[in-house]
Structure 1
Amino acid sequence: MTKNNLPRRTFISNMAIAGAGMVLGLPHIANAADNGKPAILGGPKAHPGGFSGWPLFDKTEEKAVTDVLKSGTWGRLGGNVVSSFEKEYAKMLGVKHSLGVSSGTSALYTILGAKDIGPGDEVIIPVYTFIATYNVVVLNYALPVFVDTDIESFQIDASKVEAAITPQTRLIMPVHIGGSPANLDKLMAIAQKTGIPLIEDACQAHLAEWKGKKVGGFGLAGAFSFQASKNLNCAEGGAITTNDGDFAQTCYTFHNQGQGGHTTSYGTGTGTRATNLRLTEFQGNLLLAQMTRLQAQAKRRAENAAYLTSLLKDIKGIYPAKLYEGTTLSAFHLYMFRYDRNHFDGLSRATFLKALEAEGVPCSEGYGMMNRNEYVTGLAKNKHYLKIYGEKTMRQWLERSQCPQNDKLCGEQAIWFFQTMLLGSRTDMDQIAAAIRKIQKNAKALAKL
């Protein structure tokens, strides 16, 4: 039994029951719960069991930590574990170079540092993303330029990227939100046409594929996160991937205080600014241990996601996030779908989420409207930005940041399930769908809460 996981006997039993239902051609097992009273009104839960905890680990990870502990070399300078991880990770993703760093944010920050992004520069990013994508641009005193969302996929709307480009644009930085690839064919075509480098924020997209090729190897560089919630994790950590050897070296130098090679001596540096964003040997070995599970877990998530989609697409008002035609594998760090209250007797999304939680199905409304967030809009009054860009430019930046499709998605439609839920059985997927059907059939009563 792995930590926080179902007992092996229970797991096998669940799988056997689910399999029996499919083999015998019986209705979905959870259908019996469809007509019951919602759990929030006192009825039984549609999903009474738990989902997998996270992280999953055993003696493999324990040995990885103790081996480094006993070695006496805990940092990458003088060690060889991080470099071993980098080689294995590059091999797994099919890229020439990988660099371990201290977080996914550090990966993006290093990439922007290596490209010498600074005041006066613009970086195109999606508005529907984690705040780190925005932060790394602002930390360099560049302007983040928001592009609206393709509401069907939750991804950056590639058809609106070219219109956002100005003479100041230095990078195009799409995000593979939820672990599903953005429209890389369209984005790469724009990058090639304009000569503006494409940077993949793949922090949620471990092993995701576009036309059979792993993401992180399409643009100049890719950034990955190994934060505690991620599909591959070591609590905090990240990696940069690239097929450009010179750029890989520049990134290494930037993340190592401007010093090339495994040295901290002065006088060997290049460039004019840098910092320390190194990954530790502990983290490197934990990642090597976790990588032994990654491919099997990715397969399980993809299979369960496909099955869950086959169930949810038959429920009116529930729209699973579209995968672009080039997607041959989504990492499904998130399972995202849209909710239309008009097919639930006007039941608000907030009440729908509460009812779903009561059924034993964890869920979230996801990201908010970043471009309208006070943390972000306050940039227009930041004294440093006003000094660099002036009031007129910052006022125009606010005007350029309108994203109506994203407002609609975030304001009333978006819902997430989490990657650990997709590590369960088909019975779990049946019960998730049953919970939604139960809520839909009782929406009028729930609307009175």
Structure 2
Amino acid sequence: MEKKTSRRRFISSLGLAGAGAVAGVPVLMRSTANATPAILGGSKAMPAIGTSWPIFGQLEETGLMNVVKSGVWGRLADNTRTAAFEKAYAAATGAKNALAVSSGTNALFAMLGALDIGPGDEVILPPYTFIATYNVIVLNYALPVFVDTDIESFQIDARKIEAAITPATKALLPVHIGGSPFDIDAVLQISKKHNIPMLEDACQAHLAEWKGKGVGNWGLGGAFSFQATKNLNSGEGGAIISNDETFYQKCYSFHHQGQSANSAGLGTGSGTRGSNLRISEFQSSILLSQLSRLKQQTETRNANAAYLTQLLSQIPGIIPAKLYPGTTRSAYHLYMFRYDSKAFAGMSREKFVDALAAEGVFASTGYGMINKEDYVTGLAKNPHYLKIYGEKRMQQWLDQTLQTPVNDRLTTEALWFTQTMLLGPRSDMDKIAQAIRKIHNHAKKIA
């Protein structure tokens, strides 16, 4: 496995057993804990884990054939599959408005377009995220301002946001990474104090909740992705939800070549810019079918994740990501945890991943230090940015961008399991824990 595996590439591509419980936490069985790890010649903890993805059936097939036969394949009328999905998704998330678009990236892009973000503006984001969060900012020739990570939660550290705000800050773009909410109360307080809109990158966070209210509803708008690995999947696709009617209309205009939702004429809702970010009827049909399964799948993921956290918390050197107190439901697009090599006789994280893979348990090392990648740091020498901001400002930006010590550490400790691993039976969680416990108990020999 590559040292830095992207989420999409990875997805494409513990000794525990229930023996009673103490205070609700299962007790480890010594016999399985002392079993020989597969990497040393023992038996695999689990020959197969999780669920194949996507899950589909007759609903999807019938829906797609109905679209084909209708002859309406795009957003042409109010009675389309897209309109039906938008209504259903708004209901599922508890939002007043939902706007389906062609990708999660374009959901983010449309929200920034609706705010008329452009040259000279700054947008705050975390460094621990998929590159799309950065891309949509620089597509608008604004400056991405990275705020360091809270290592315990993997989320943006809300305590460090205020120090990054300048008169040029035009939006806060925190990410519900892994499908777990960032500290919404803390970020929202900063948003209101400084009168800077909060836009939620909820691309991984379908049906996640904060204090019983769906994520994406707390800021001015929220963006979701329906890319092939996501918990709600149509191959590609995305959506914006918002309870602000004016903002929703601006997003609609931006995604629809500057045209308004209520007429074929050009509007001025998103300034003087627009694009074609529309979703197709085929995607919307699949999403309607997939949506019928989402609530039950989300409940399964949460139950399995809670149980797995109980198990893994007993193993020295394995630290599950914390959920903030306001979290009433995570999407668990990713099950995130940290690995402390010192508790495993100095075994490298890469060797630990190999030992897990030998057990039939596949983990990813997750995101790298994207703010230190050439793709990002090269912005300091981009001729368009130099023309807009000047060499001195871009050097200042680069110096600031590189200062994320907590995120640097996180990217050397982080590990992920994917959402499909949480869709199996509870016994799968026991087997994951069994695999990790076996490796822990034989760490010195493996290392």
Residue 41 of structure 1 deviates from its aligned partner by 2.2
Q: Encode CA deviations 1:21-43: one digit per residue, 9 max, x unaligned.
A: 669x9976986432222212221
Equivalent position of 1:91 in the other structure: 91
1:155 aligned counterpart, secondary structure: coil
- Give the match for residue 235 of structure 1: 235
1:182 is aligned to 182
Q: 1:77 touches 1:262 (CA, 8 Å); kept in 2?
A: no
Alignment of 1:52-91 (within 5 A): 52-78=51-77, 80-91=80-91
Alignment correspondent of 2:393: 393
Residue type at the aligned position of 1:429: M
Cα distance in 2 for partners of 1:146, 1:249 equals 29
The equivalent residue for 2:321 is 321
Gaps of 5+ in 2: 1-16
Q: CA deviation at 1:92?
A: 1.0
Task: Tell me the equivalent position of 1:12.
Answer: none
Q: 1:404 and 1:255, CA in 2 relative to 1: closer, same or farther beyond 3 A? A: same
1:407 corresponds in structure 2 to: 408
2:43 is the alignment partner of 1:35: no
CA contact (8 A) 1:30 1:46 kept: no
Distance between the aligned counterparts of 2:27 and 2:343, measured in 1? 22
Q: Which residue of 2 aligns with 1:293?
A: 293
Unaligned runs of at least 5 residues, structure 1:
1-17
Q: How is 1:75-154 mapped onto 2 (pairs within 5 angstroms)?
A: 75-78=74-77, 80-154=80-154
DSSP-derived class of the 1:99 partner: strand
Do the aligned partners of residues 45 and 213 (structure 1) sit closer, same or farther apart at CA in structure 2, a change above 3 Å counting? same
Q: Which residue number in structure 2 is paired with residue 5 of structure 1? A: none
Aligned to 1:422: 422
Q: Distance in 2 between matches of 1:214 and 1:268?
A: 30
Distance 1:164 1:269, change over 3 A: closer
Q: Is the 8 A contact 1:68 1:285 kept in 2?
A: yes
Q: Deviations over 1:351-384 (max 9, x none)?
A: 0011111110010010000111111001111111
- Cα displacement (A) at 1:246: 1.1
User: 1:47 matched to which residue of 2?
Assistant: 46
Amino acid of the structure 1 residue aligned with 2:304: N
Displacement of 1:268 after TM fit? 5.8
Identity %: 62
- Output aligned runs, 1:345-356, within 5 Å: 345-356=345-356
User: Aligned-pair distance for 1:267?
Assistant: 5.2
Following TM superposition, by how much is the alpha carbon of 1:80 offset from its aligned partner in structure 2, in angstroms? 1.5
CA gap 1:143/1:291 in 2 versus in 1, 3 angstroms? same
Maintained 8 Å contact 2:49/2:421: no
Residue of structure 2 equivalent to 1:10: none
Partner of 1:380: helix, strand, or coil? helix
Counterpart residue identity of residue 135, structure 2: N
**Superposed displacement of residue 136, structure 1:** 0.2
Match of 1:248 in 2: 248
1:224 correspondence with 2:249? no
Give how far 1:51 is off: 2.2
Counterpart of 2:73 in structure 1: which amino acid? W
Q: SS in structure 1 opposite 2:436?
A: helix
- Compute the TM-score of the two structures, normalised by the length of structure 2: 0.92
Do the aligned residues in 2 keep the contact of 1:64 with 1:289 (CA within 8 Å)? yes
Kindly indicate whether the alpha-carbon contact (under 8 Å) linking 1:205 and 1:330 is maintained by their aligned counterparts in 2. Answer: yes
Q: 2:334 is matched with which residue?
A: 334
User: What is the identity, as a one-letter code, of the residue corresponding to 1:404?
Assistant: P
SS across alignment from 2:100: strand
CA RMSD in angstroms, aligned pairs only: 1.8
> Structure 1 267/196 Cα, relative in aligned 2: closer, same or farther at 3 Å?
closer
| Aligned-partner residue type, residue 140 of structure 1 | N
CA distance in 1, matches of 2:304, 2:65: 35
Cα shift at 1:97: 0.5
Displacement after TM superposition at 1:273 (Å): 1.0
Distance 1:70 1:350 in 2: 51
The answer for the alignment partner of 1:259 in structure 2 is 259
Match of 1:273, SS? coil
